[in-house]
Structure 1
Amino acid sequence: MKKLLLLLLIVFCMTITVSPATACTTTIVGKDASADGSVLVSHSDDGLGDGRLIYIPAKDHKPGSLRPVFYSHCALDFKPQWGGSEAHRIVTKDRGPGYDTGDAPPNVPLGYIPQVAHTYAYFDANYGIMNEHQVSIGECTDKAKVHPEPAPGKRIFYSSELSRVALERTKTAREAVKLMGELIEKYGYYGTGETLLVADPNEGWVMEMCGYDMNGTGGIWVAQRVPDDKFFVAANQFRIREVREGDPDMMHSTNIFTVARQKGWWDPANGPLDFTSVYGDGEFHHPYYSLRRVWRAQSLAAPSLDLPAWVEGPFTRTYPFAIKPDRKLTVEDLFSIHRDNYEGTEFDLTKGLAAGPFGNPNRFEGQAESVADKEGRLTPLNGEFERPLNIYRCVYAYVNQSRSWLPDAIGGLTWFGPDRPATAVLMPFYAGALDLPAPIQRADLLKFDRGSMWMAFNYVANYAMLKYSYMIKDIHAVRDRFEKTAFAKQQEVESNALALWKNGDEKAARRLLTRYSDNLAGDVLREWWTLSENLYLKYNDGYLNTREGIAQAVFYPAWWLKQVGFEEGPTSYQKKQPAR
């Protein structure tokens, strides 16, 4: 009995000390599949953690300089021995003022690589996002057969730092993929399996990677080009299937076939190497944790395909690698996918008893979700909730635009939404910006900060769960107004910046774009805190409070009352007999 209690205590401690797995959704749209000819990349970072969007300035480096490679929290949870904190992923003077916070121990490098003479400016979060040359990145975590631990001098790279080095050093998606592949092979890979979407104004690639031995060096990677007229989505499971040697639309590590044979994971006699099934280990956590999102995203992009929601197993081929959308997609279309809670389907999370009386789509996850592949359940119940595209623990989401017909400084654009997509406002930040607004670069999930954009959105989103079906309408009214204005002004802002650029005043164009984004972000921050106050007043104590009347009753719907036992309440002085 004592041993059992000790085991339960250990498992319990794991559940409260390990942060949620970063389990994301990411998409890419080819230039011929987008409404305006952009190559689009989207990403929702679905693990509560560091919500900052940081500007990394371009920088010159002295000959012989070394670049430190830091441990990534989102690989295998926070490890204090490598510096930083649970709230802040990087603390260093090495990468510009955004990470020179001094609020936690500085990061300790896992190793170093030779530095280049000049590195490019880029936007960074838990993964690199976009650089000044419109190279754009999205990400999702995948379950591989092996998840090695970091080892200095042996396995020093995870996808986070790989994406940052790529943005620092490359001008095209192909260059970025090749560079990251070389770094994996030379310096080793640790952590979970990963999918990185890599794009530029002309094309988009899906790059997938993993370790293959707990004590090994190097890693495995493969990349496949997304056809220009197609839409691609990944959601925490590898998506590349047959690896084709010599195909100009594929790249891969030199060891991809030999390792698979040596491990006994693949026999060439059985057909081409299927990367998803050979190196992958199915879905995280439970059936349809990944596949349901792939089904939903593809169904929203191309309803005409009439894709089935139910499949035969984790390695189904029901959902193609990439699909042609029914109509050309916009930034708004992509973010609508990320905002989805399966509304209108048999899986609609705004319906049913679990949604409560006010249609709350959020389903808090249990033990298994919080510890990724170190699972151990404390509940005797066997079951799962559906995992939506819009999830309560999303820390940020964005859509990147890369556009070939504009100078990089103007053509590259990140539409960034703090916190979960359904309640976020998409705000535009240009690749040529001289900096990012201060509120976007501030966030600490353990410190209440009215100067933090992430905190404002997270606060409102959490408060909305009290009376979701009512409050979400108020939130969307403000959200939609800001987004409508931003999309409407996009052409004017870019035309003015382009005129300055063509007249030779590139610095003035960059200042214009920077100032525009800064002013918009300031307006959003002020109004979002005002919205939080208005929601508090309007729905105080569960009532509806307006100028038309205080304490207007908002009672529960009859269907919900019936299911939760309202009819069994004290309606008489006689004790009610239990139903037979």
Structure 2
Amino acid sequence: MCDNLVVLPDSTSQTRMLVAKNSDRPAYESQPLVYNKRQTYENGKNVKLAYLNIPQIKETYLTIGSSPFWCWGYEQGINEHGVAIGNEAIFTKDLKDSAANPEKQKGILGMELVRLGLERGKTAKEALEVITKLIEKYGQWGSAVVGEEKPYNNSFIIADSKEAWVLETVDHHWAAKKIQKKCHSISNEMSIRNDWDLNSEGFMERAIRSGWADRAEDFDAAHAYTDFTNALQVSHIRVQRTKQLLHKKAGEIDVPWLKRILRDHYEDTFLEGPFFNAALPDFQTICMHSSPANFTWGITASSTVFELPADEWHFPVIWWSPATPCTGLYLPLFMCEQEFPVILSQSGTVRVKTADPTKSEQDQSAKDSYWWMFRDLLDELKGDENGILFTKNKEIFRKTFDVLEQKWLRLIRDIEEEAAVLNKAGKQKEAIALVTSFSNECLKEALEAIEKIRTQIKTAVLS
């Protein structure tokens, strides 16, 4: 389960494209933030994916993305040209036949498609074309979970500084819609009905041939392809909630408001938010927590906000929070060539990616992993699986983290403007040194904050 959001520049207070995603994953699956340099390759090289190898291209772009510890691909990411992509699992009628067919050619994972689009697409439209051509040729497959194999299809939000697209896919077929409204969000259900702008050849015919739709004249893609034996209430409630919160501030949406949405547990609604506390969830919410009743799939493992600047001189900004964002801290980073902090990219005990989830061991905590620091902190904040200490500890961790986030937001605007001036003057190395020095100082403060909170929690327990 995931939620993707995009805000067009005219609906923000910053006049820049904003893209955000919560990635919901199994409760103890690490999802660090990884940095992959621009690379050149010789002819004949292949990319080793989970279930197949595909030809590599001559040059791939620099990318940063949050990546499950075993996976080659990204749940969400951005490239050096300011293209940002996030995906969603969607469950369509064709998947039952795929799962039951042992001869079915296993295709590309949705997370792999995210990274491939970023490595090969200089604009949102180019990334869209990269992904759709790969889908047409290779199709898709699961699983996205270590130790399991369950096929799924994908929807995507793909954006650059000027335009944004929703792409929805069914095996080898797809439809895409350019986002014209001020803001948009998607969850784990199809949303394109009869209003797409681009589609694969045979997109409608596939559904009609299978008996899922009667005729092209009144074809409804979401209705035709959706598997209604897979419960939709969870995804539908979440997507309606994100849309409600986006429209509430349309025209003045900013990074803090997107963080507020990504941390949402239906507070200030007739559901009254979490009846007990967020760590003992009553519902599957935008910021997802594991449930003792097992009605949630896991937790939000990674939460990201991307700021896509309108010109070539400003670096794109990444705000990243590991684990549940309501207990997390959005660290500011810049998309540029840099010495990326190793601690951000470290998983736990599993340090070699298998790419294939069916062949990977389960990851476990390690002290030199930034992701695991926040995941372990979540357990400490909860106290036990029922979150007995969570409400008591919430004031402690949010007071510390909120002060830092507010400080960083105040400082970052002057930093990015100064870096843009340097870039425009041809002083890119100085610009990179400036922004990475800032991010490294923020990282240092984040690590200190974690230890401070742990000390305060232990003191509170003893008292």
On whether the aligned pair clears a TM of 0.5, the verdict is yes
Superposed CA offset, 1:432-484 (max 9, x none): 14143222111227433222221221222222223222211111111111111
Query: 1:253 Cα shift?
Result: 1.1
**What amino acid does structure 1 have at the position aligned with 2:285?**
P
Partners of 2:40 and 2:225 in 1: how far apart? 39
Q: Residue 166 of structure 2 aligns with which residue?
A: 206
The answer to whether residue 185 in structure 2 is matched with residue 233 in structure 1 is yes
CA contact (8 A) 2:32 2:346 kept: yes
Find the partner of 1:133 among 81, 93, 98: 81
The answer to whether the aligner puts 1:28 opposite 2:29 as a matched pair is: no
What is the deviation of 1:344? 2.1
**3-state secondary structure, aligned to 2:366:** coil
| 1:390-421 alpha-carbon deviations (Å, 9 max, x no partner) | 112111100111111342xx331211111111
What letter corresponds to residue 209 of structure 2 in structure 1?
Q
SS of match in other structure, 1:202: coil
**Alpha-carbon contact 2:16-2:308 (below 8 Å) kept:** yes
Q: CA deviation at 1:258?
A: 1.7
Partner of 1:220: 173
2:19 corresponds in structure 1 to 41
Structure index of larger Rg: 1
Which residue in 2 is equivalent to 1:251? Answer: 198
Q: Deviations over 1:264-293 (max 9, x none)?
A: 111226x43222111122485x45201111
The aligned counterpart of 2:358 is none
Alignment correspondent of 1:292: 237
The match for 1:68 is 47
Tell me the distance in 2 between the aligned counterparts of 1:154 and 1:448. 35
Which of 249, 252, 256 aligns to 1:328? It is 252
8 Å CA contact retained: 1:159, 1:194:
yes
Equivalence for 1:474? 396
Which deviations, in whole Å up to 9, do the C-alpha atoms of 1:123-175 show, x marking residues without a partner? 12232400000000122222211333599994321221111111111110011
> Quick one: which of 115, 119, 122 aligns to 1:164?
115
Q: Which residue of the partner structure matches residue 318 of structure 1?
A: none
Q: What is the TM-score normalised by the length of structure 1?
A: 0.68
Whole-Å Cα distance in 2 between the matches of residues 29 and 463 of structure 1? 35
For the pair 1:184 / 2:138, whether they are aligned, the reply is no
Question: 2:45 corresponds to which letter in structure 1?
Answer: L
Matched letter for residue 295 of structure 1? Q
Cα deviation digits, residues 481-501 of structure 1 (max 9, x gap) = 111111111112112212321
1:439 to 318, 343, 348: 343
Identity of aligned residues (%): 23
Equivalent position SS for 1:32 = helix
In 2, the alpha carbon distance for the partners of 1:274 and 1:181 equals: 20
Name the counterpart of 2:320.
416
Look up the match of 1:523: 445
Question: Which amino acid in 2 is paired with 1:122?
Answer: T
1:468-547 aligned within 5 A: 468-540=390-462, 545=463
Contact 1:139 1:195 in 2 (8 A): yes
Q: Which has the higher contact order (CA 8 A, sep 6+)?
A: 2
AA aligned opposite 2:381: A
- CA shift in 2, pair 1:512/1:326, >3 Å: closer
- Aligned partners of 1:243, 1:155: CA distance in 2, in Å? 30
Does residue 461 in structure 1 map to residue 378 in structure 2? Answer: yes
* Alignment correspondent of 2:93: 145
State the AA in 1 paired with 2:107: I
Task: Sort the Cα spacing of 1:255 and 1:287 in 2 relative to 1 into closer, same or farther, 3 A.
Answer: closer
| Counterpart contact for 1:349–1:362, Cα < 8 Å | no
User: CA deviation digits over 1:22-74, x for unaligned, max 9?
Assistant: x1111111121121111111111111323211000001112x13232412xxx
Asked if 1:347 is matched to 2:271, the reply is: yes
Alignment check: 8 A CA contact 1:440 1:452 kept = yes
Aligned partners of 2:41 and 2:460: how far apart in 1?
55
Count, aligned residues: 415
**Pair 1:152–1:490, CA change in 2 (3 A):** farther
Structure 1, residues 98-140: CA drift from partner, whole Å, max 9, x if none?
xxxxxxxxxxxx3333322211110122324000000001222
Q: Which residue of 1 aligns with 2:33?
A: 53
Task: Report deviation, 1:530.
Answer: 2.6
TM-score (norm 2): 0.84
Q: Distance in 2 between matches of 1:326 and 1:455?
A: 35
Instruction: Specify which of 207, 213, 235 is matched with residue 266 of structure 1.
Output: 213
Letter aligned with residue 401 of structure 1:
E
Name whichever of 432-441 and 146-155 sits farther off: 146-155
Counterpart Cα distance in 2 of 1:165 and 1:66: 15
Unmatched runs of 5 consecutive residues or more in structure 2: 68-73, 142-150, 290-298, 349-361, 383-387
Q: Secondary structure at the match of 1:46?
A: strand
**Which residue of structure 2 lines up, in the alignment, with residue 401 of structure 1?**
307
Answer whether contact 2:193 2:220 (CA < 8 A) is retained: yes
**Counterpart residue type for residue 476 of structure 1:** R
Contact 2:7 2:19 in 1 (8 A): yes
> What amino acid is aligned across from residue 245 of structure 2 in structure 1?
L
| Matches of 2:309 and 2:103, distance apart in 1 | 39
- Measured against aligned partners, the alpha-carbon deviations of 1:476-532 in whole angstroms (never above 9, x if no partner) come to 111111111111111121122123212212122223222321221122023212312
Equivalent residues of 1:66, 1:112 under 8 A apart: no
What are the residue-to-residue correspondences of 1:547-562 with 2, within 5 Å?
none
